[in-house]
Amino acid sequence: QSALTQPASVSGSPGQSITLSCSGSNSDVGKYNLVSWYQQHPGKAPQLMIYEDAKRPSGVSNRFSGSKSGNTASLTISGLQAEDEADYYCCSYAGYTTVVFGGGTKLTVL
Amino acid sequence: QVQLQQSGPGLVKPSQTLSLTCVISGDSVSSNTATWYWIRQSPSRGLEWLGRTYYRSKWYFDYAASVRSRITIYADTSKNQLSLHLNSVTPEDTAVYYCARDPSGFQWYFDLWGRGTLVTVSS
C-alpha cells in the first residue's frame, strides 16, 4: 500500500480557515470510512483530532472538522490560532489488516 | 486517566534485537474492546504501523508485512503491558517508537499514545 498524499506545507493567518487535504485511492480512503487525523507538535506524540472520517473526540476543539469526497479526505481548521501550528497526519485503513499514513503537512500560522 | 509508559534502550547495535515495553495504566491489555499497537516514525519512512495485539477470548497478533519476519509482540497480563521485539535491526530501523491504543478495537484510529522512544541503530 502506498502512503497517502498530503501537501508538505500550508500556511494561514490567525482567524482564517484552512483546509488540509489527504489523497488516497479507492482501496483505502475511498473504500472505508476509517480516516483519522493527528496533530503533532515538535517532540511530542501525535494527538487524535478526527476519527472515522468526521468524528471529533471529546476534548478536541470544534474548530477542527473532517470530511471526505471520493478518495480525498480533508481536515478543516477554522478560526486559526497560533497553537494550531504543528504537523498534521492523515491515516486510513487500507484493508487486509493494514493502515497507511500520509507524509504529513506542516501548518504554519503567520 | 489512561496512560501508556514506554521504556527501553535508546541505542541498539546492528543485527541485534530491539526490545521495548509499554506499561498500561487505567486500562487493560486484555480489554475486550481495545486494541494495542506499536507504531514508529522516522524522517525517511514517516509514520508506520508495525503490529498490534488484542484479546477476544484468546490473544490475536497482527504484523505489518514490512517487518513480519522480524517482529514479535507480547502481552503480559500480570504486568499489564505489551512488548515489542524487533530482531536483526539495521540503521533503517532507527526511529521513534510509539505504543498506542485503538479504543474501539477495529476502527483503526489511535486515541492514546505513549511518549515515544527514540531508538538509534548504530555500532
pLDDT in tens, B57-116: 999 999 999 999 999 999 999 999 999 999 999 999 999 999 999 999 889 999 999 999
Q: Please list every residue in chain B whose beta carbon sits closer than 8 Å to the beta carbon of residue A34.
A: 107-109
Grid cell for residue A50: 478526527
In this predicted structure, what is the pLDDT of residue A96?
A: 87
Flag whether residue A89 sits within 8 Å of chain B, measured between CB atoms.
Answer: yes
* Across A102-106, average pLDDT: 97
> Beta partners for A19?
A76
Tell whether the model's pLDDT for residue A88 goes beyond 90. Answer: yes
**Which of the four pLDDT bands, split at 50, 70 and 90, describes residue A1?**
low
In this predicted structure, what is the pLDDT of residue A3?
A: 87
Q: A105-109 and A9-12: which strand pairing? A: parallel
* Across A97-107, average pLDDT: 96
Tell whether the model's pLDDT for residue B7 goes beyond 60. Answer: yes
In this predicted structure, what is the pLDDT of residue B106?
A: 86
Tell whether the model's pLDDT for residue B23 goes beyond 80. Answer: yes
**Which of the four pLDDT bands, split at 50, 70 and 90, describes residue B30?**
very high
What integer best gives the mean pLDDT of chain A?
A: 96
Q: Are A40 and A95 in contact (CB under 8 A)?
A: no
Residue with cell 511530542: A44
Tell whether the model's pLDDT for residue A36 goes beyond 60. Answer: yes
In this predicted structure, what is the pLDDT of residue B18?
A: 98
| Residues sharing a CB contact under 8 Å with residue B6, sequence separation 6 or more, in sequence order | B20, B21, B22, B23, B97, B98, B99, B114, B115, B116, B117
Q: Please list every residue in chain B whose beta carbon sits closer than 8 Å to the beta carbon of residue A36.
A: 108-110
Interface test with A, best of B110, B112, B115, B118 (most A CBs within 10 A): B110
* Across A12-35, average pLDDT: 97
Interface test with B, best of A97, A100, A105 (most B CBs within 10 A): A97
* Across A46-58, average pLDDT: 98
Flag whether residue B45 sits within 8 Å of chain A, measured between CB atoms.
Answer: no
Flag whether residue A6 sits within 8 Å of chain B, measured between CB atoms.
Answer: no
* Across B6-18, average pLDDT: 97
State residue B78 phi and psi, 5-degree precision: -70, -30
**Which of the four pLDDT bands, split at 50, 70 and 90, describes residue A2?**
low
- Looking at this protein, which amino acid is placed at residue B42? S
Tell whether the model's pLDDT for residue A62 goes beyond 70. Answer: yes
